[in-house]
Structure 1
Amino acid sequence: MFSKILVANRGEIAIRVFRACREMGIATVAVYSETDRDALHPKMADEAYNLGDGPAADNYLNIEKILQVAKESGAEAIHPGYGFLAENAPFARACDEAGVVFIGPPASAIDAMGSKTRARELMKEAGVPIVPGTTEAVDTVEDAMRIAKDEIGFPVAVKASGGGGGKGFRVALTEDELQGAFEGASREGEKFFSDPTVYLERYLPNPRHVEVQVLADKHGNVIHLGERDCSIQRRHQKVIEEAPAPEWVVDEETRERIGKIGVDAAKAVDYVGAGTIEGLFSSDTNEYFFLEMNTRVQVEHCVTEMVTGIDIVKQGIKAAAGEELDYQQEDVVLRGHAIECRINAENAARNFAPAPGKVGSYKEPTGPGVRVDSGLEAGGEVSPMYDPMVSKLIVWDADREQATKRMIRALDEYLIEGLTTLIPFHKTLLQTEEWAKGDTCKELLEDKEWLKSTAPAEAPKPVVEDEDEETAESKYLVEVSGKRFDVRVVGPALSAGVVAAPANGAAPAAGGGRKPKRGERKGGAAGGPDLVESPLQGNMWKVLVEQGQSVEEGQLICIIEAMKMENEITAPKAGVVEELHVKEGEPIQTGAPIAKIVAAAAE
């Protein structure tokens, strides 16, 4: 078994792996970006290394830096968690070349399942049912139109070959919508996965999203741990998951059938570790289609752990170390029902707009059958640079009805001050007739009026730091047990008249000036009925209008990227763009002006 593991991730999944390692007697190494300098996960590891400032490409996605930390720390293995480098075949190969064990499947399996078109080919060869569609990339809109009309029919789904997590997924209900769907899926594929190629599938309007958890070792043992129902989604991204699926959806016979599909799929690519076969299930026809394989631990692995009693993270670590699984298929027994709610910093009442910010008071729910996997604490921050997850709230009880009541109780106990989160949304949804019946709740999540009803009774007050308090950065050279370290201290500036002498004896740096008070800062443009303001903080990904241009009500003005999601901003009325305040590639803050649209003069 490994003596030390580096976790190449952040937030709650990094902490989840640290806890598993600690229970297994394995030392842990954290990496963190400058943005996460005060985050919780570096504090939870035995050692922590700063990967530097900037976007994720400069730190959490920087393979060279991470392998250098592994070498310096003496880590024998790297656990990628989910996201970032978790499904990156070049990273898995780089680990092998550096003599570090990648805790996950071999690079060949990641390659095979990373390309959705290649995965569909492999599954078809292995006898695994796939959604009707293409198994090769579609090069042009013209080709897509011909295939959709002659072979698949409408509605059709356009998917990025390297996509996942709802990225690179667009639907064309009619021929008129195909070009926009094709270009949108290709653009997201290029942006998020460096691969603009797309393929087509028959779009199933309201299937259930049912996935199978698999575990495999290097000795040929492959088992499944039953299914999870992840049908409650917005923008093709999950918000509530449960295990097992409602009994009127998946019975024992169906569970055995789709479990075998999961095992067959894993065996087809010589899989090792924890993985998930995602599928679309039609309860009307009892058909189950392979969708994709996530070659990593899933966000929602917790609900399966709650009903099986099997620690999926530990089993993945043991498999990577060359040990056999602790379980055989006959050992897997599902007991009770578990539900997970993703507590994201999002405003459901505003169509799930990201709502990053700083946390004030923070208190997690406790009690029987309650689990919280969190990456935050009081005073922490949800940064717009990363995904909006605050935590995952998981409950277990004897059946689905009782688990639902327990979840509502736990949500009531959860205290998160300063942030807008999905807690009010979850409480509202779990008390609907649709949830009780086990519906996919698609209509509710697409109903903007219903979403508005999930708004919190009182908007949370943002946590504002003392903006008059100055901060300073000092660098020191210290020696610990004979080993020299360069130490950087960032904190409140010393009082006036007090000067700190740097370790090298040099004079303190001049200038810098104090931070301006709120009232002294330059104000933004005043709001008004003609002014379109940004509903969220993010980066201006695309500007689709020009100053002086006429626009129609509902016309797309710009696209803001925030927390890995594209957010489309449309014109609230018809008129002329009199002022345009934004440029592509620039950051934008909540409430900042985007454009001023005035009614066209009457002729």
Structure 2
Amino acid sequence: MRTDATVRRLLVANRGEIARRVFATCRRLGIETVAVHSDADAGLPFVREADVAVRLPGDAPGDTYLRADLVLDAARRAGADAVHPGYGFLSENAGFARAVLDAGLTWVGPAPASIEAMGSKIEAKKLMQAAGVPVLGDLDPAAVTESDLPVLVKASAGGGGRGMRIVRHLADLADAVSGAQAEARSAFGDGTVFVESYLEHGRHVEVQVVGDGRGGVLVLGERDCSVQRRHQKVVEEAPAPGLPDGVRRTLHDAARSAAQAIDYVGAGTVEFMVAGEKVAFLEMNTRLQVEHPVTEAVFGLDLVELQLDVAEGRDLPEAPAPQGHAIEVRLYAEDPAADYQPQSGRLGSFEVPDVDVEFAALRGPGLRLDSGFGSGDDVGTHYDAMLAKVIAWAPTREQAARRLAGALRRARLHGVRTNRDLLVAVLGHQAFLAGDLSTDFLTEHPEVVRGREADLEPLALAAAVMLAERDRLARRVQRGAPVAWRNVVSQPQRTVLEAPDAGGQQVVVEWYGGRDGYRHATRDDLVVVSASPDLVVLEVAGVRSQTRGQKSPVATAAERELLLDGGLGSARLREVPRFVDPADVLAEGSLLAPMPGTVVGVPVAEGAQVVAGDPVVVLEAMKMQHTIKAPVDGVVTDLVGAGQQVAAGDVLAVVTAAQDSTPESNTPVEETA
């Protein structure tokens, strides 16, 4: 499919970092840009960076970015002559691609027929098998035996890990199939699933291709995307480490055959599972991938520019030789320790140090940041929880991992919990550095999920001292007088702080102030060397380090909250008031919303008797469903209604415990996609 048309004004039918990524290439090439945005996204950077922006009324994807008619109307009103779909949303919707072409616009993507050919995983496997691409054979669920186990149940439509189940016990197969069908029907509108063999300790390896629609296919190496959670990628790198040369050739040849079999146009990715010498086709994503920057860094190419070149009818270049190694991590607003529960809120601080490039091909040693957010932006509940991608390139894999981990450690990330500590732990893990990779990496190494927890006591002392210094400077008289000075010292000052990004954990700090400065009341190994309202130098067991603090922009006027970063780690700490308004005290047994969202299910009635673990409320946020369960046996009261919008911390229900019941937790949560 060639248009031989010059693109002058491009609409990106997407949001966040991929929209900004495409805009960056367009600016360099002199192409005008058009953004479409929901109401929830109106204040995000991608809207500000576009030459023209068109509002799509509403917040939910189904009302905005998934409305092909609204997107096409926006293109017409904005005078766009081309559409780039990004990834997700309508990017692999053949009907949308066809509608764009029918409207006389240039479609920066593959032909609708190619999208349709790869849209069904079942039909795609048949097509690839006919083209000589190695595939795993399908199994009849009714005929699966113990010798076939383990098997994988997969949705034929869609992706992202939804509608996917690993089955290791034959008795679980029927429930896995029905559960996958229901999940696929809800997520994709198509409940078709299939069963295939599951490769234990397999690697997820994919090949980047760019086709010209005339049989020419550029193969730009492979990427390893094995480190995953919930079948969704977390760490990606190029080239894939430790692959035998024969396996690498098989992957590249199979990817070329796959693209040629459907006369592929533009950028696409052919995904495989690899176990030893065995290679098996998974699927072909007929779009740009999230992890495309690592290929750009290694080959020194701009894949978005190549997409535009092909859309405008130009020939493909020769593939350059790959150089060095690149690693990308996905920085998510989520809590890995709480089963990767998505987080939402306002980013008080979002700064990654030493960034060399933003939204462009990284050539040579350096660090690249592809982000959809900045400091002060709101992370909502309607879309994916990914905040940014951070990419490092270096001559060797070990150097790239070290550079990337160092940048993540020094990043200032406050306002929502993130998976930053998990990513740092993975990049420094002995198994990762040895190239011992598989899709069950995080399951095999649960220690990385815990990450590195900051020691809150020294940070809390630093926060207490900063707050005291701020109080001193706020005085109208006697600013020079020492803080907390007393003629006769009877007891230490007592400051109680909580860490909102660490589950509300509280730390009590007892300290003295006076002419000799500040000191901890009970720990001689914790010394305040110097103090100011925004910088405290502490010595912990003889090791001196700085901690900087700034007032949190996400705090209310009445809250005293600081964002702390430095050699002791990072934390957001809020001073707990000495006196609490009785109206703010929650009833015992209150089940609180873990994040803003919509109540989509209330499986119990007001006054119902429940036992611990029974579902009480189902909350939908960030494309996930969160089941709020009863923490104890008891009676349900004050129950929210289905369809109600709730904020984080809102009371969803109260479970009044039976006398012999002991609470396990305040708000147990179980997630499903």
* TM-score computed with the length of structure 2 as normaliser: 0.74
TM superposition shift of 1:409: 1.3
Q: Secondary structure at the match of 2:219?
A: strand
Aligned equivalents of 1:379, 1:216: Cα separation in 2: 41
Out of 252, 269, 274, the position equivalent to 1:276 is: 269
Name which of 337, 341, 361 aligns with 1:349: 337
SS at structure 1 position matched to 2:308: helix
Partner of 1:399: 396
2:306 corresponds in structure 1 to 315
CA contact (8 A) 2:635 2:657 kept: no
Aligned counterpart for 2:416 among listed residues 414, 419, 426: 419
Counterparts in 2 of 1:155-304, with a 5 A limit? 155-246=150-241, 248=242, 250-283=243-276, 286-304=277-295
Between the aligned partners of 1:414 and 1:21, the Cα distance in structure 2 is 29
Contact 1:212 1:276 in 2 (8 A): yes
- 2:65 equivalent among 56, 60, 63: 60
Look up the equivalent residue of 1:148 and give its one-letter code.
Answer: V
Q: Is the alpha carbon distance of 1:523 and 1:353 closer, same or farther for their aligned partners in structure 2, counting shifts above 3 Å?
A: farther
Q: Tell me the equivalent position of 1:490.
A: none
Query: Which residue is 2:565 aligned to?
Result: none
User: For 2:143 and 2:643, how far apart are their aligned partners in 1?
Assistant: 36
Structure 1 distance, partners of 2:259, 2:130, is 13
Q: Superposition pairs for residues 402-481 of structure 1, below 5 Å?
A: 402-440=399-437, 442=440, 444-445=442-443, 451-455=449-453, 459=499, 463-464=553-554
Specify the SS of the correspondent of 1:404: helix
CA distance in 2, matches of 1:522, 1:74: 58
Provide the residue aligned with 1:589 in structure 2.
Answer: 647
**CA gap 1:409/1:448 in 2 versus in 1, 3 angstroms:** closer
Aligned partners of 1:584 and 1:170: how far apart in 2?
A: 29
State the distance in 1 between where 2:581 and 2:85 align: 42
Larger radius of gyration between Structure 1 and Structure 2: 2
Q: Distance in 1 between matches of 2:138 and 2:343?
A: 37
Q: Deviations over 1:222-245 (max 9, x none)?
A: 121111110110101111111111
Provide the residue aligned with 2:86 in structure 1.
81
Secondary structure in 2 aligned to 1:421?
coil
Q: 1:148 aligns with which of 140, 144, 148?
A: 144
Give the deviation of 1:446 after TM superposition: 6.9
Give the distance between the partners of 1:205 and 1:568, measured in 2 at CA: 30
CA 291–100 in structure 1, closer or farther in 2 if over 3 Å, else same: same
Aligned partners of 2:327, 2:426: CA distance in 1, in Å?
13
Rounded Cα–Cα distance in structure 2 between residues aligned with 1:233 and 1:590: 27
The answer for the alignment partner of 1:539 in structure 2 is 598
Letter in 2 for 1:451: V
Cα 1:552–1:121 shift into 2, 3 Å:
farther
Assess, with a 3 A threshold, how the Cα gap between structure 1 residues 90 and 336 changes in structure 2: closer, same or farther.
same
Residue 439 of structure 1 and its aligned partner are, at CA, apart by 2.9
CA shift for structure 1 position 92: 0.5
CA contact (8 A) 2:9 2:80 kept: yes
Q: Secondary structure at the match of 1:420?
A: coil
Q: What is the alpha-carbon distance in structure 1 between the residues aligned to residue 582 and residue 379 of structure 2?
A: 25
| 1:370–1:443 distance in 2 versus 1, CA, 3 Å | closer
Q: Give, as a single letter, the amino acid of the residue that structure 2 aligns with 1:89.
A: A
Structure 1 contact 548–576 (Cα < 8 Å) conserved: no
* Cα distance in 2 between the residues matched to 1:86 and 1:41: 18
- C-alpha distance in structure 1 between counterparts of 2:287 and 2:174, whole Å: 33
Inter-CA distance 36–79: structure 2 relative to 1 (3 Å threshold): same
Amino acid at match of 1:216: G
Checking the alignment, whether the CA contact within 8 Å between 2:94 and 2:115 is kept in structure 1 is yes
- The corresponding residue for 1:122 is 127
Query: Cα offset for 1:24?
Result: 1.5
- Letter matched to residue 58 of structure 2: D
Instruction: Tell me the alpha carbon deviations over residues 63-116 of structure 1, each in whole angstroms, 9 at most, x when there is no partner.
Output: 112111212222111000001110111100101111112111111111111111
Which amino acid is the alignment partner of residue 533 of structure 1? L
Displacement, 1:388? 1.0
CA distance in 1, matches of 2:217, 2:426: 36
Aligned to 2:538: none
Give the Cα separation in 2 of the matches to 1:397 and 1:231: 20
Preserved contact between residue 152 and residue 198 of structure 2 (Cα < 8 Å): yes
Give, as a single letter, the amino acid of the residue that structure 2 aligns with 1:395: A
Q: Is the 8 A contact 1:7 1:81 kept in 2?
A: yes
| Residues 580, 148 of structure 1: alpha-carbon distance in 2 compared, 3 angstrom cutoff | farther
Deviates more, 1:589-598 or 1:549-558: 549-558
Aligned partner letter, 2:97: A
Q: Indicate the residue corresponding to 1:563 in structure 2.
A: 622
Letter in 2 for 1:266: A
AA in 2 matched with 1:464: V
Distance apart, 1:26 and its partner CA: 1.1
- Answering whether residue 162 of structure 2 is matched by residue 102 of structure 1, we say no
Task: Give the RMSD, CA atoms, in angstroms.
Answer: 2.9
Identity of aligned residues (%): 41
Q: Which amino acid aligns with 2:279?
A: Y
- Looking at structure 2, the residues matched to 209 and 287 of structure 1 have their Cα atoms a distance apart, in angstroms, of 12
Q: Within 2, Cα distance between the matches of 1:263 and 1:213?
A: 9
What is the rounded CA distance, in whole Å, between the counterparts of 1:13 and 1:232 in structure 2?
Answer: 22
Give the distance between the partners of 2:401 and 2:272, measured in 1 at CA: 24
Residues 421 and 451 of structure 2 are in contact (CA less than 8 Å); yes or no, is this contact kept in structure 1? no
Report the 3-state secondary structure (helix = DSSP H, G, I; strand = E; otherwise coil) of the residue aligned with 2:158.
Answer: strand
1:521 is displaced (CA, Å) by 12
Deviation string, structure 1 residues 356-409 (Cα, Å, up to 9, x no partner): 111123322225510001111222121111111111000011111111110111
Provide the residue aligned with 1:332 in structure 2: 320
Q: Normalized against structure 1, the TM-score is what?
A: 0.82
Closer, same or farther in 2 for the Cα pair 1:265/1:569, shift >3 Å? farther
| 8 A contact 1:546–1:580 mirrored in 2 | no
What is the one-letter code of the residue matched to 1:526? L
Q: Residues 387 and 563 of structure 1 are in contact (CA less than 8 Å); yes or no, is this contact kept in structure 2?
A: yes
Give secondary structure in 2 for the equivalent of 1:163. coil
Which sits farther off after the overlay, 578-587 or 367-376?
578-587
Q: Give deviations 1:156-181, integer Å, cap 9, x for gaps.
A: 22211112011221222223322332
Partner amino acid for 2:450?
K
Specify the alignment match of 1:15 in structure 2: 20
The CA deviation string for residues 128-175 of structure 1, in whole angstroms up to 9 with x for no partner, is 1112215xxxxxxxx73x13339x833222211112011221222223
Contact 1:33–1:51 under 8 Å retained in 2? yes
**Contact 1:163–1:169 under 8 Å retained in 2:** no
- Which residue of the partner structure matches residue 484 of structure 1? none
Question: Which residues in structure 2 correspond to 1:22-37 (within 5 Å)?
Answer: 22-37=27-42
Structure 1 gaps of 5+ residues are 135-142, 469-518
User: Is the alpha carbon distance of 1:454 and 1:577 closer, same or farther for their aligned partners in structure 2, counting shifts above 3 Å?
Assistant: farther
Q: Which runs of 5+ in 2 are unaligned?
A: 1-5, 357-364, 457-498, 502-551, 559-578, 662-673
**1:52 CA drift (Å):** 1.5
For 2:553 and 2:582, the matched residues in 1 are separated by 21
> 1:329-356: CA deviations, max 9, x gaps?
xx33221111111111111122211111
Q: How many positions carry a matched residue from both structures?
A: 534
Deviation of 1:598 (Å): 5.8
2:297 is matched with which residue? 306
Q: Distance in 2 between matches of 1:544 and 1:207?
A: 39
